[in-house]
Amino acid sequence: MQKKQIAGGLGWRRMFTGLALIGATMAAAAASEAPVVPIPIERFFQRPAVLEAKLSPSGKQLAVTTSRGATRIGLVVINLVGGEASAMRAVSFSDADITQFDWVGENRLVFSVHDLQAGGGEDRRYAPGLYAVNPDGKDLRQLVRRQGTPFVSNGTSLSRALEWNHLLLHVPLQQDGVTPEEVVVGKMNFGRDQIVSIVPIWLNTRSGRTRSIELNSPPHTVSWMFDSKGEARVAATLDQGRQALHWRGPGESKWRQLAESDVLSAPFIPSAVDDAGNLYVSSSDGPEGYAVLSRFDFEKGVPLTPALVTTPGFDFSGSLVMDRAGARALGVRVDTDGEQTVWFDAGMKRMQALADEGLPGRTNRLSCRRCGAEDMVVLVRSFSDREPGRLYLYEAETQRWQLVSRVLDDIDAQQMAMVDLHRIKARDGRDLPVWLTQPAGSKAGQPLPAVVLVHGGPWVRGGHWQWDAMEQFLASRGYLVISPEFRGSTGYGGAHFHAGWKQWGQAMQDDVADALLWAQKQGLASDKACIAGASYGGYSTLMGLIKQPELYRCGVAWVAVTDPFLLLEGSWWVDDDSNGLVRKHMLPQLVGDADQDAEMLKVNSPLVQAKQIKAPLLLAFGESDKRVPLVHGTRLRAALTEAGRPPEWVTYENESHSWRKVETHVDFARRVEKFLGQHLKADKP
């Protein structure tokens, strides 16, 4: 594997506005005038027509999770052999949706389920179970029970089903001369409020029988990494706030410790293993601490230098692409200001060039079987900032393209907004990435009313160059959407992440304000602006109204943290999903210590500072939320009401920390549309 440097930059994408021809099935889209009537809300928040699609090991079948023709998401298998492709619904349930699946072999699939019509399904006590089925829908078997839900029989047997505390860990890749029927599952063992160990076992997907794996694993192993054949290579342990990584190479019987640290300062993070016994890790490099991908040097006990893959301006975030057991990596997939794949295989380089030529201005993610060969089969997931995605199938032998499906129905890319990443300077000089979503048809020199949309987490990367329902919905109503990657966000270097520690309501909040001020100075945003966000983004919305009231005419906060002390300490009468590890070893460092930093936390508590909120406010909460329990909302609502400024208020029954039900998304978006229209008075699109 050679070193690859992947620079950011998607300027070339803007040269293209439509979809070019690939054979007879890919017609160019002509530009259309902006719609007079706003796009219906339901189109933005519909359930995807296709969630996921995966080729079988031979490339002769395609499995798809879809809700087309049904009220629930089921599993459909398409036969690709012969003339016209034929599809058959392999399995579906009346009270559950199939959301994750994989091919065990050519004649067996495993899958788990969620109830997407019940918002409370995110409760920490819920387990998705595990099932197996043949491509033709026969021999359906429940392998792992679902916790807290009635058994959905569909002719299956519970005689050998494992208890709910088992989860799928690994599905081995296809091996030559082996009929695959087994997967690796892990038995979760629990302590008072968290997982204390996971023990891997082999599980036969036809018989339901299990067999043990002789691992002699380190105590307190809570996560595993396997090679393509299912051999355990990495064991990660966690005990009393200390984490460690252990390695066992091919032919070895004993584990050796590679690193130990507290939970927030790991020297490197395992990214992938291969069948030759190589371990690939990401680690920080340079003054800004950008994560890079390297092979691990077992003799020296450190990542090898120079790195294999660097992504200047971004942390390495991606994966190696492999197609079968024992094979070397075909390439590496990364996400900078857009997703891209760097192929090491010459045949896949040519295939990527062919797809990019026919589908310009898009990210074209390739999944293949017999990759690079003359008879390879390729599944292309083609998407952009304005296009939710389309799936195409390419057969190299016949050079035939087929459109498989849209990801979302009735979305016209020409009516959607463009998304771009800008790098600006915060008031203290720190580099500040900011995503802008600009409404279709907006003109240069005409500032737009703006919504500053603050991402949740907060220790995640918020933005990506892809279609996003909320951002596109807001843009369709004529708003410029400003989404800052404030300090504390991940994905932009360790220094950017660490700069946000103990900065809730402080420098993190200033970054949000600086993004809006920059957009106004550039003539992109007018002086009409509201701030909005969920979870931490909801907290930031409240603090924005408190700290910079002159910037925002209103705020929309949903599932918002309002009381930092309740977040940090919990309460015996409040049921939440935090645990002792998080509250003892993470939140005090990231947010603040409830005792030592009490004064700072009070100054930056929306609940304590509620009287300072003067602008109109829309508050929304899920009644079954365990991440940010409803009491966060009811307490703030009471404080605002006492101060004489009651908020607009809505709660959703059987919804948790993120809306799961389509009707909730639609109702909330309709309320947001009306609220923003009242306070920003945006022109109609």
Using 50, 70 and 90 to split pLDDT, how confident is the model at 36?
low
Q: pLDDT by residue (tens digit) across 308-346?
A: 999 999 999 999 998 776 667 899 999 999 999 999 999
pLDDT for residue 642 is more than 70: yes
Mean pLDDT on 606-620: 98
Using 50, 70 and 90 to split pLDDT, how confident is the model at 83?
low
Percent of the chain with pLDDT over 90: 79
Mean pLDDT on 22-28: 33
Mean pLDDT on 634-656: 97
DSSP 413: G
Q: pLDDT by residue (tens digit) across 197-210?
A: 999 999 999 999 99
**Higher per-residue pLDDT: 550 or 124:** 550
Q: Determine the pLDDT at residue 85.
A: 59
Q: Determine the pLDDT at residue 17.
A: 28
Q: pLDDT by residue (tens digit) across 274-313?
A: 989 999 999 999 999 999 999 999 999 999 999 999 999 9
pTM here is 0.91
Q: Which of 156-160, 235-239, 571-575 has the lowest mean pLDDT?
A: 156-160
Using 50, 70 and 90 to split pLDDT, how confident is the model at 97?
very high
Q: In the CATH scheme, what is the code of domain 416-680? A: 3.40.50.1820
d(CA 515, CA 434): 7
- Each domain of the chain, given as residue ranges in start order, spans 416-680
SS3 state at 641: helix
Mean pLDDT on 664-678: 98
pLDDT for residue 11 is more than 70: no
Nearest C-alpha neighbor of 657 from the set 612, 627, 613: 627
d(CA 395, CA 392): 10
Q: Determine the pLDDT at residue 160.
A: 72
Using 50, 70 and 90 to split pLDDT, how confident is the model at 126?
low
pLDDT for residue 15 is more than 70: no
The token pair that represents 272 in the structure block = 């992938």
**Higher per-residue pLDDT: 174 or 10:** 174
Q: Which of 20-34, 415-429, 438-452 has the lowest mean pLDDT?
A: 20-34
The token pair that represents 239 in the structure block = 């005990």
Using 50, 70 and 90 to split pLDDT, how confident is the model at 149?
low
For residue 165, with 0-12 CB atoms within 10 Å meaning exposed, 13-18 middle and 19 or more buried, which class applies?
Answer: middle
Q: Determine the pLDDT at residue 549.
A: 98
Using 50, 70 and 90 to split pLDDT, how confident is the model at 495?
very high
Q: Determine the pLDDT at residue 119.
A: 67
Q: Determine the pLDDT at residue 148.
A: 65
User: Cβ(111)–Cβ(75) under 8 Å?
Assistant: yes
Using 50, 70 and 90 to split pLDDT, how confident is the model at 16?
very low
Q: Which of 178-187, 273-282, 374-383, 546-555 has the lowest mean pLDDT?
A: 178-187
Q: Which residues contact 97 (CB under 8 A, 6 or more apart)?
A: 67, 72, 73, 113, 114, 115, 116, 117
Q: Determine the pLDDT at residue 587.
A: 96
Q: Determine the pLDDT at residue 328.
A: 79
Mean pLDDT on 570-584: 89
Beta strands in 439-566 (DSSP E): 448-454, 480-484, 525-534, 554-558
